Structure 1
Amino acid sequence: MPSHAFKVGQKVLLSGSSLMRGAAGTYKIVALLPEERGDWQYRVQSTDGNQQRVVWQSQLAPA
C-alpha cells in the first residue's frame, strides 16, 4: 500500500465538502495519521489561525 502523499510541514489546499462548509482553504500538515477505509488521514492546521482538524488525503491537494 502506498504511504502518505504529503509531509509534516507541507502546505496543502483543503477542498470544501457539504460536511465541512467554510473549511476550505490553505492548511499546514502537522501530523501523519493512520490509513482508514483506504484513505490516509492527516492532522492539519489553518494557516490563518490555530484551528486544527483531521482530514482525508482525498480532500487535499498540494498548495
Structure 2
Amino acid sequence: MVAIKAWMALLLFGVLGFLVGYFVFPMLPLGEFTLSPTQGGIWGLVLGEIVLLSSIIR
C-alpha cells in the first residue's frame, strides 16, 4: 500500500511539474536563453521530482 502511494506521488509530482514547466517556463524572461515548451516541461518534471524527493528525505 505504501509503495502504491509512493508511485502515485511520483506520478503526480512529475505530471504537475511537467505541466507547470510546459506552460510557465517558456514565458519567463530569461534573455538569450529561452526554453521551448518541451524543454520547459522536462525541466518542470525534474524539478517536481526533486521537490518530492527532498520532502521525503527530510
TM-score tier by shorter-chain length is: under 0.3
- Per chain length, whose mean CA-contact separation is higher, i.e. which structure has more relative contact order (CA < 8 Å, sep 6+)? 2
More helix by share: 2
Larger Rg: 2
Structure with more of its chain in strand, by fraction? 1
Q: TM-score, normalised by structure 1?
A: 0.26
